[in-house]
Amino acid sequence: MASVPANPNKALWEKGDFTRIADTMRESGEALVQRIGVSKGLKVLDLGCGDGTTAIPAAKAGADVTGVDIARNLVEAATKRAAAMGLKNITFREGDATHLQGIADQSFDLSVSIFGAMFAPKPFDVAKEMVRVTKPGGRVVMGNWIPNDPTLVAQILKVSSAYTPPPPEGFISPMTWGVEANVIERFGAAGIPADRISCVRDTFVFDYAGSPTAYVDEFRKYYGPTMNAFEAAEKNGRAADLKKELDELFTKHNTSKTATSIPATFLRITVNR
Ligand SMILES: C[S@@+](CC[C@H](N)C(=O)[O-])C[C@H]1O[C@@H](n2cnc3c(N)ncnc32)[C@H](O)[C@@H]1O
């Protein structure tokens, strides 16, 4: 039997254990769910849901939630977390944001993706799928990191990219989702006029119960993209340089005197379907 070629997008996120990073994002996830207005009975899709940082608070608010993620380990972790909380109004399943197999047109009042679908290849397909599964009169909400932003996540990427080989030809950076003109073009191609799309800057805070340098070690051990950067750096004998640069970055952005608390700016997009 011919083997199915590996999906690098899936492999990246199944690598390590993103739940270790997600654990430092919970409070902002809950606050974001409140800000975007999730109410009882709303049918919500969380795309690229990870282990449920957004999906679980949405279910706690009474919404009827479906979480979809490409990483099998994260779908399992999300399912376990929701079960441990006794939530019955939430299900998780494996799926790809570029092709939401088995999800009917116009299924959801709110399709949300917080730092999730931005990582899928084929951004035009992602926009088309998010619009397709959302009901007319419903909303699509995305949270996307912003390229070249001075805050943490864009800077991690910038530092890491200097240690990793260039991406394959034709690769579209996930960070392009943080540029308003691209958002308008992608949702425009999915049939949404620009006056139905709004973009605002918002903040997510990463809270870790240790020092900034210990937090860098968590990224190094558990966060797929950073693991890859360190693997590439090790091959060139440059891992200590990468660690030093990231230690400096995390320390510079830390606002806590006793642990680690780092705010990061993102683009919050609302599409009125
Ligand atoms: C940075 S994590 C964010 C997870 C979660 N939304 C959160 O805020 O904690 C990115 C997530 O997107 C998922 N992802 C990446 N590419 C995807 C794709 N093509 N389809 C569905 N999920 C995807 C990853 O598996 C991962 O869980």
Could you read off the pLDDT of 98-150 as tens digits, one per residue? 999 999 999 999 999 999 999 999 999 999 999 999 999 999 999 999 999 99
The alpha carbon torsion through 142, 139, 36, 56 (nearest 10 deg) reads -80
Walk across the sheet containing 260-272 and list its strands. Answer: 90-94, 64-69, 43-47, 108-114, 134-145, 260-272, 197-208
Q: Rounded to whole angstroms, how far apart are CA atoms 249 and 201?
A: 21
Query: Which protein residues are within 6 Å of ligand 1, measured from CB?
Result: 9, 13, 18, 22, 25, 48-50, 53-54, 69-71, 74, 96-98, 114-116, 119-120
202-259 pLDDT, tens digit per residue, is 999 999 999 999 999 999 999 999 999 999 999 999 999 999 999 999 999 999 999 9
- Indicate the angle between helix axes 224-235 and 152-161, nearest 10 degrees: 30
How far is ligand 1, taken at its centre, from the CA of residue 23, in Å?
Answer: 14
Residue 263: pLDDT band (50, 70, 90) is very high
How far is ligand 1, taken at its centre, from the CA of residue 31, in Å?
Answer: 19
State yes or no: pLDDT of 46 exceeds 80.
yes
**Interior angle at CA 60, CA 14 and CA 206, nearest 5:** 50
How far is ligand 1, taken at its centre, from the CA of residue 119, in Å?
Answer: 7
State yes or no: pLDDT of 180 exceeds 70.
yes
Query: Which atom from ligand 1 is nearest to the alpha carbon of 49?
Result: 6
- Cα 72 from chain centroid (whole Å): 15
pTM: 0.95
Q: Rounded to whole angstroms, how far apart are CA atoms 134 and 272?
A: 10
CA distances from 73 to 18, 119, 232 (A): 9, 17, 24
How far is ligand 1, taken at its centre, from the CA of residue 123, in Å?
Answer: 14
